Each structure stands twice: as C-alpha cells, then as structure tokens.
Structure 1
Amino acid sequence: IKLMAGMGFNIFRFSICWSRIFPTGEENEPNQAGLKFYDDVINEMKKYDMEPLITICHDELPMNLVLKYNGWASRKVIDAYVKYAKTLFEHFGDRCRYWLTFNEINAVRGFGPTGVRKADGQARYQAAHNMFVASAKTVKLGHKLIPGGSFGAMFAMSELYPATCKPEDMFHHLQERRENWYFIDVMGRGYYPSYAEELWQRHGFEKITIDPDDKEILKTGQLDYIAFSYYRSNITKKGDGWFNVGGSANPYLDKTPWGWPVDPLGLRYCMNEIYDRIQKPIFIVENGIGAIDQADENGYVEDDYRIEYFQQHLSAMADAINIDHVPCLGYTMWAPIDLVSLSTGEMKKRYGFVYVDMDDEGHGSLTRTPKKSYQWIKHVIETNGAALE
C-alpha cells in the first residue's frame, strides 16, 4: 500500500474474500478476524488518502455453498450473498463509498466460477439470473445503508470487431457482442433485453426460471455505474465458436508476448459503446499488459514497452473523456504490482509497476523494486494526465 501511495494513487481496488467473513456462508455472525483483516487494509489506505474500491465477490464463494446447494444454481445462495454484503456495508460503509457486486460476471457463460457443477448452458444462465437478483438486492440495500454510496458491477469487455464487412460476419458480430451486452443490459437497464430468448435458444434451451418478484427487483436494483476490464480487442467471423475469447487474428495490430492484440483505440471505442448504450457513468477497473521483464542485479526493470502501452491507453481514455464526453469515474490498472497471472498461472507474465523477486516455481526473496514505469506513472498522476500530451 505504501508503494501504491508512492505513485500517487488516490484509489485502490481490492476484493474481499467471502469465506474470510462467513467461512461456510451460513453462519449467523461474521468472523471477526476476517473483518479485522480488512479493517487493517482500509485503515492503512486511509493513512495515504486512498479511496477503497471494493469488489464484494471476485470469482469465489464458500465451498459449503457449492457442495450443499450447487452454488448459484440455488436461490439459497442469493440470501447468503445479501447477508454477506449487508455485513460489509454495516462494518465498512462509513469508510468505503465505491462497491462492485461481482467481478467479470459475464464470464459465467464460459468459464466463470458459479459453483455449479457440470453446468450446461441453461444451468449457467440460471446461475447468472440468480446473481443478477443478488446484485440488485445488494444495490438497493447499499443505497439504504450507505447514503451517497455508489454501486456497480464489473464486466470483461474486450472490444470486438467483425472480421470483414460480409453481411454474415457483421450479423455474427452482432450476435456475439450480445453475449456480453446481455449481462450489462440486465444489470444496467434493469430488465431482460428483447433478444434474450434468441440467445438462450442458441445455447440450447428455451427459458430460465424467473420468480414473479424478480422483474421488479431487477428494475429497482439497477447499477449506478458500469465497470469493466479492457486488455485487448478481438475480431470474429461466421463460423467462429461462441465465447470466442481469442478471436481471429487481426493483421492491423501488434501483439503481446502472449498473443494479445494491443489496441488502445479499442478502449476509447469500448467506453463510447458502453455509455451510448447504458447512459450511466463508467469505471475502467482493469487494464494492463502482461510482459516478460528482465531485471538487473538490483531488481530494476527498464520497461519502456509498459510505459508505451499505458501512454497509448491512458491517452485514448482521456480522448473519450475530453473529446467524446464519456463520464468516467476512475481508472485502476491490473495490476500495480507483479502477481501470478490468472490466465496462465505464472509469474513470468508480469503486469506491475513494481517488480517482485519470485519465479514460476515460487523461488525468490519477494523483494519489491519499483520499475522505470513506476516513476513514469507517478509523473502522469502528479500532472493529472498532462504528461501524456
């Protein structure tokens, strides 16, 4: 946290682990040691005037809820989640204004952890519905318990382009983009879109179970803002499979060592696309480049490639704000310090402004050393972005 403050951060996003607060998800009282852990984190941040941005559920839930109820397949988990969120709001709400109900919730359609075992398409979308209801109930509760609080959810939003102007490719692009819009539309607008049934049918089922009161809950528990992660863009064409994460190759873009296309203009495009559709403020909560860093004997890294990546993406964000007038609440990168990459499970794929001395096998001193990009981003923040020009 001190290293983050050294760069001038005035906000820091972190996630609370549900099972630290309610180990089984069904306790009547929260685990005080878990609450104290996050008290210490938040109080340390406050020493440096850093605003918390808290993700309530980041791809996990207590194992007991998986084994006993089959995870989000059961509405029992809705009640457990709302109880958990209520505890967080009551305990931390006097110090925390910005909240995310779920991390990359749209990932449940492909690989996201719903806790549903052997989930087919219908089971995943039923689980998603139960998560929608849990989020809406939590937003309503948050407004009641934290006056002035702001509540969003986070979506994985790589930009997507049609591979060609062939009508079939254009229509396939429309359908595949709706795979993401489905989640944002329900949570941001408060109702199921007109294309929902067609989307369900493409996934092999006719409908999901929606309780009589759910429509009103979704309507009155809409998100205050739309948060998203952005790392790259993809292209798609007729014949590509659904949930085409890698997409087809884009000949116009350079790639990272892991094959991810680098597309800063795509970030501006995505910001405009979301705001045009939902008309609510947005928050970029993940953006960054996984790269191979070569540290010297002192752990210092000359990461000019990372500086170039952020210079381009932050400039694109500034253009969306200043030229296109997209309201943007803030920006947090992934990740300010090196960590084990989710997508490949390795330390070699480094994201941070701070180098951590550890290899893929877990060997190393864990010494943390600011990279060249650390001083660069510090200067960008000090000048409120003027250094980008």
Structure 2
Amino acid sequence: MFKVKNGFPENFLWGGATAASQVEGAYDVDGKGLSTSDMVPYKPMEHSNDNMKIEVTSEQLKAYLEDDSKEYFPKRKGVDFYHRYKEDIALFAEMGFKVYRLSIAWPRIFPNGDDKEPNEAGLAFYDKVFDELEKYGIEPFVTMTHYEMPINLVLKYNGFESRQAIDDYLRFAKVIFKRYKGRVKYWAPFNELNMMLTSPYTCGGVISDVSKYKDNEYQIKYQATHHQLIASALATKLCREIMPDAKIGCMIARLETYAATSKPEDQLQALLDEQLNVFYPEVLINGKYPNYIWRYFKEKGINIEMEPGDEEILRENTGDFIAFSYYMTYMATANPEPGVQVSGNLVGTSQNPHLELTDWDWPIDPIGLRITLNRLYDRFKVPLFIVENGLGAHDKVEDGKVHDPYRIDYLRRHIEQMKEAIIDGVDLIGYTTWGCIDLVSCGTSQMSKRYGFIYVDQDDHGNGTLERIRKDSFYWYKKVIQSNGEDLE
C-alpha cells in the first residue's frame, strides 16, 4: 500500500547553483582559453524580449577577436570565484548547503577544445574546489558545460553544427570523469539543452549567419540539437563505464505552458508548445525521437542528418533523472496579438493577467511549479531535481545590510509548492536555487539583476570591492535547510 509522504525526505538535497562563466572570472588565467560567454559584451537592457537571445554574428566575433577594447565583457570578470572560492564555499557551508551545483569550464580544461592534452592547471583548480566542498560535507552536482564552448571550436567548425564537436566534447568528458571519479555523484552533460531553440550561439556555439543551413533556422537549431543529444547519450555511456555508482541525467529549461483561453485552438497550441519542450527528455530519458517531432520536422522543412547507429546510441544510454530550471510559466495562443507579451520571457508569450511580475517582468507562478513537477513525473517516472529557481531583483545595501523580503517571499511560496508536489507523490531529489551568490546575469550580462543570498559589491561595469555581504535571505535559507523545509517563516 502506498504511503503518503508528509514533507521533504530526510536526504533531500538543499543548496544553490552557479555557472563557471558567470562567477569564476579569471578568463585568461592559468592557461584558460576563450569561451563563447567570454565574447558576449555588456548591453544595458532591463526589459527586453531578447533577454536570452544572446546571439553573436560572425562579423561581431571577428571584431571582438581583433580588438576587444571597445567593449566590456562582464563574464570574463565574473565575481572572481576563481580566487575567492574558499570564502564563498565557507558561506555556502554556513547556510548549511547539502549540495552545490557548479559547472566545469570546458576551455579551462581544453583551452582550444581540441588540444591533445588537458590543461593541468585547470584540472587542479577544480581539485581544490572539490577539496573545499568535501571539507564541509557538501555534495557537488556538476554541469559538464554551461554555455562556455571553446571559441576555437566555433571558429573551426561552427560548434555543435558539426558532428566533430561530439568527439571533442567526449574527450573533455572522459578526462573529467576519470579525474573526479568518486568525488562527484551527480552529473548533467549540458545546461538547458532546449535553449538551442532560443540562442544557438549560447547553447551550442553556432553562429547562424555562417551556417551551411542558414536558409532554414529550424534546420540549424535541430541539427545542432541532434549532435548534442548524441554527445549527451555517449557521455552517459562513458560515465557509467568509468563511475558505475554516479547518477547522470539531462537538464532543460522547463517552459510550463497554459492555454490563453478555453478555445480548442489555444488548447492545441499549448499542447504543441509542451511537446517541443519535453522533446529533449523524451529523447534522453525515453531513448528515442517521439512521433510528434517527425511531423514538426516535416512542416518546418527539417531533415536531421543522422549516422547509422545514432538511434541505438540514444536508446541504450538514457538518463537517470531530469534536472530543470523553473522561473515562470507561459501562455499559448493560436493567434497572438502584437504588443501583449511579457518582455522578460525566454520565449515570446501572451501575458497572464493573473500573475504578478518581477523587476524584469518575469511572471511569478509558484503553483505552476507544483503543476510542472506533477506533469514531468507523471510522464517520465524518473526522479526530478530542481537545479535553478530564483528571483532576479534590484538589491540595495543599507548600513552594511541587504534587506530582501521579496526574495524570501518568492522562494517561500515556491518551496511550499515543492512540498505539495512531494505529498502528491513526486520523487524530488533536491533544490538548488539559482545564483546563490550574486553573479553576472546570463541573459543581460548585468550585476544589477541579483539572485543571491550573498551580495557581491560590483556594479554593471565591473566596479566595486567584490566584498561579500550576507542578505536577510541568507539567514532565512539557513533556517529552511536546518528545518528540512518545515520552517519557512
């Protein structure tokens, strides 16, 4: 007989998440090569429908490589985690983190992406990071690459548009699996694989204007997607060969979508949007391309170039869990009206009149998290891991303190719904809030869009002391972890 759960399990993994390209800095230190994120300049924009469309053209990239003095590239500086990791991890430990999700910068290990030997200094850095995490009993969750493909591979063969990228990625994967065997239990091959559909440059190092498929943007995105899916499946195979006790899953940006009205046409559009979002775990968890995607490919003129054995690779190397980011929900309509979009959305959708918005116009929908947890678990029947969730907001330092009741309220309401989903029967492994320490925002490259429990003294232009300051939410989250999610006041 099934026993109804009444709260978070005892071994629930509470923690926080960051990305190497947004916190580490030290972009040219100890042999690190340039990454795609290193070539994204700061562009001031608080409210823009292009928040996540971080595209760089071939002309822009050429100009940046020839002379980068005219632009400021915030992700090159990050918040100097590279030199302050001990201080930052000590703060995570003070909060009581059970897990810390981080990424390994691919060009820190292979500066050019296709080097014959790995960069020992880069490997040694992560040795030290894992040493520090072990010191405090914090479990590392590693995203193997988080939007930082070596720029040399972009120049050489346009990133994951080329099948060659699979071999270079697997060389990187094999090195870090062997190096960190026994030290890392949880792995995700790529961050938010479905962001390829929004920004091929960011997600796959693909520059669209030089693509051989440039006459069909859908072909560009889904061909590169196929190469990443094969790379992910083969990385899963490698992981199991090298580390049989480890867990490796897939990671997507979860786009829970409501129909704008009860009109059948809007309901159908919501269904189609949902299918495109779960296409990625359909392949990586269920092991095959779903039937509906073949119709979509035909309608968009997409012809995926596969090699013999690809379907077998996907079928035999499925993931252990689904990790996902959740920030908001979306609205679907068959006939969208111009001018009624929420500007902060990753994809343009109609505005939901029932939801309040963040400082960056992202809808706040805690109940949507319970809905999406139930839908994903009902569909895939594998454990789930929320690895990004948080509130980007303007924070102010007043008398050396940062009062952020709005962040506490946002997280409290989402955690309440996580608990409800667990009672519903969802198998939820853990929760890592996004940007547990202030970092350079992915979409806007701003520091002023702050997510962290820890304030970092740095502005949008890189000015500041980099002093770390505990926010009110720091002490609140510490209490949440201590009580295993029971004390949310």
TM-score, normalized by the shorter chain, greater than 0.5: yes
Matched, 1:307 2:408: yes
Deviation at 1:210, TM superposition (A): 1.5
Distance in 2 of aligned mates of 1:294 and 1:21:
37
Matched, 1:54 2:142: yes
SS in 1 for 2:434: coil
Is the Cα–Cα contact under 8 Å of residues 197 and 207 in structure 1 kept in the other structure?
Answer: no
Amino acid at match of 1:123: I
Distance in 1 of aligned mates of 2:456 and 2:255:
27
Is the Cα–Cα contact under 8 Å of residues 141 and 184 in structure 2 kept in the other structure?
Answer: yes
Distance in 1 of aligned mates of 2:346 and 2:172:
34
CA offsets 1:145-199 (integer angstroms, 9 cap, x no match) = 1121000121001321010010110111111121211112111111000011222
Q: Aligned ranges for residues 287-366 of structure 1 at < 5 Å?
A: 287-298=389-400, 300-321=401-422, 323-366=423-466
Deviation at 1:349, TM superposition (A): 1.2
Matched, 1:99 2:156: no
SS in 1 for 2:399: coil
Q: Which runs of 4+ in 1 moved over 4 A?
A: none
Residue equivalent to 1:275: 377
SS in 2 for 1:155: strand
Q: What TM-score do the two structures reach when normalised by structure 2? A: 0.77
Tell which has more relative contact order, 1 or 2 (C-alpha 8 A, sep 6+). 2
Residue equivalent to 2:110: 22
Matched, 1:218 2:314: yes
Distance in 2 of aligned mates of 1:239 and 1:63:
40
Distance in 2 of aligned mates of 1:382 and 1:235:
37
Amino acid at match of 2:417: A
Distance in 2 of aligned mates of 1:116 and 1:244:
18
Residue equivalent to 1:131: 228
Q: Aligned ranges for residues 146-165 of structure 1 at < 5 Å?
A: 146-165=243-262
Residue equivalent to 2:207: 117
SS in 1 for 2:224: helix
Deviation at 1:244, TM superposition (A): 6.8
Match of 1:199 among 286, 296, 299: 296
CA offsets 1:12-45 (integer angstroms, 9 cap, x no match) = 0111011111111222221100100111111111
Unmatched runs of 5 consecutive residues or more in structure 1:
none
SS in 2 for 1:386: coil
Match of 1:78 among 156, 166, 182: 166
Q: Aligned ranges for residues 206-285 of structure 1 at < 5 Å?
A: 206-240=302-336, 245-285=347-387
Deviation at 1:246, TM superposition (A): 3.9
Distance in 2 of aligned mates of 1:62 and 1:337:
25
Amino acid at match of 1:45: L
Q: What TM-score do the two structures reach when normalised by structure 1? A: 0.96
Which has the larger displacement, 23-32 or 77-86? 23-32
Deviation at 1:351, TM superposition (A): 0.6
Distance in 2 of aligned mates of 1:90 and 1:9:
26
Deviation at 1:347, TM superposition (A): 1.4
Is the Cα–Cα contact under 8 Å of residues 255 and 274 in structure 2 kept in the other structure?
Answer: no
Distance in 2 of aligned mates of 1:385 and 1:68:
48
Distance in 2 of aligned mates of 1:12 and 1:206:
39
Distance in 1 of aligned mates of 2:101 and 2:276:
26
Distance in 1 of aligned mates of 2:226 and 2:148:
17
Is the Cα–Cα contact under 8 Å of residues 143 and 189 in structure 2 kept in the other structure?
Answer: yes
Distance in 2 of aligned mates of 1:209 and 1:339:
38
CA offsets 1:208-237 (integer angstroms, 9 cap, x no match) = 111120111001111110000001111110
Distance in 2 of aligned mates of 1:33 and 1:244:
36
Distance in 2 of aligned mates of 1:18 and 1:206:
30
Change (3 A) 1:80 1:311: same
Amino acid at match of 2:475: Q
CA offsets 1:286-312 (integer angstroms, 9 cap, x no match) = 0000111121131x1111111111110
Match of 1:377 among 465, 474, 477: 477
Distance in 2 of aligned mates of 1:99 and 1:136:
12
Amino acid at match of 1:347: M
% identical aligned pairs: 46
Distance in 2 of aligned mates of 1:342 and 1:130:
23
Distance in 2 of aligned mates of 1:295 and 1:149:
42
Distance in 2 of aligned mates of 1:305 and 1:316:
17
Matched, 1:41 2:129: yes
CA offsets 1:341-376 (integer angstroms, 9 cap, x no match) = 112221111111111111122221111110111111
Amino acid at match of 1:360: D
Number of corresponding residues: 385
SS in 2 for 1:60: coil
Distance in 2 of aligned mates of 1:257 and 1:272:
28
Which has the larger displacement, 155-164 or 65-74? 65-74
Distance in 1 of aligned mates of 2:261 and 2:309:
43
Change (3 A) 1:387 1:143: same
Is the Cα–Cα contact under 8 Å of residues 385 and 430 in structure 2 kept in the other structure?
Answer: yes
Distance in 2 of aligned mates of 1:124 and 1:333:
29
SS in 1 for 2:249: strand
Amino acid at match of 2:425: H
Deviation at 1:201, TM superposition (A): 3.2
CA offsets 1:266-293 (integer angstroms, 9 cap, x no match) = 0111111111111111110000001111
